[in-house]
Structure 1
Amino acid sequence: MEKELKLSNADYRLLSIVWDSEPIASPELCKLTETQLGWKRTTTYTVLKRLCDKGVLQNESTIVTSKIKREHIQAVESRQVISRVFEGSLPKFIAAFLGEEKISDNEAEQIKQIIDEYRRQK
């Protein structure tokens, strides 16, 4: 499924609202997308149907819930970007991401802790 999962910006924007609000009735979802995204009801239902067809969301009896957690989507999307744009190189991605930006000592320590935890799990 990970290779087949292709999400547009619109898909991800709707997913974010669902993740923050689920379970949510589809009419309420339409109100939120209108307020937050400026979408019409028809746009919301078009994107909702597409995400249901992809197996990411479900809409049962007008109640919308996610079938895939935010963290999973973030991991899949991140791996796809690193693979496609940075030849699968995480160090190249980090270097490009940081660019000329400085990170704080606290951020550097958090990243180190994440890497150390990952190494312990292997």
Structure 2
Amino acid sequence: MVWENEPIQSGELAKLCEHELGWKRTTTYTVLKKLCNRGILQNDNSIVSAPVKREQIQQYKSHAVLEKSFGGSLPQFIASFLGNKKLSAKEAQEIKSLIDRHKEE
């Protein structure tokens, strides 16, 4: 929510979290404090912003899941993620393009 609304006053963030997530004001401030301590968010004079880009957080979380749940194996993750799901030709081509762009030479 911070990335979508930054910069945002902490009181407004608390109201937004109450409305969207059902969080109490104290819960929002507790989570905000923890994220500020980790350097993910900052709260400067009650103005909350994110010095770390959303994409960086998503990348970190993705790597953590990959390591913890799949022993770092991307093929195992993809097989588990897909399960019995079929990919459209467009999705398959997009994934192939991604692999080609990230392939070691």
Q: TM-score range by the shorter chain?
A: over 0.9
Q: Which of structure 1's runs of 4+ aligned residues deviate more than 3 A?
A: none
Q: 1:31 aligns with which of 15, 19, 22?
A: 15
The Cα of 1:51 is off from its aligned counterpart by: 0.6
Can you give the 5+ residue segments of structure 2 that lack an aligned partner in the other structure?
Answer: none
Q: What TM-score do the two structures reach when normalised by structure 1?
A: 0.81
Deviation string, structure 1 residues 35-57 (Cα, Å, up to 9, x no partner): 10011111111110111111110
Q: CA RMSD in A?
A: 1.3
- Distance in 2 separating the partners of 1:79 and 1:63: 30
Deviation string, structure 1 residues 65-92 (Cα, Å, up to 9, x no partner): 0121111111111111111111111000
Can you give the 5+ residue segments of structure 1 that lack an aligned partner in the other structure?
Answer: 1-16
- Distance in 2 separating the partners of 1:98 and 1:110: 15
Q: Which amino acid aligns with 2:16?
A: L
Q: What TM-score do the two structures reach when normalised by structure 2?
A: 0.93
Q: 2:43 aligns with which of 28, 35, 59?
A: 59
SS of the counterpart of 2:16? Answer: helix
1:100 equivalent in alignment to 2:84? yes
Q: Please show how residues 1-122 of structure 1 align to structure 2 within 5 Å.
A: 17-119=1-103
Over the matched positions of the two proteins, sequence identity in percent amounts to 55
| Number of equivalences | 105
Larger radius of gyration: 2
- Distance in 2 separating the partners of 1:88 and 1:48: 30
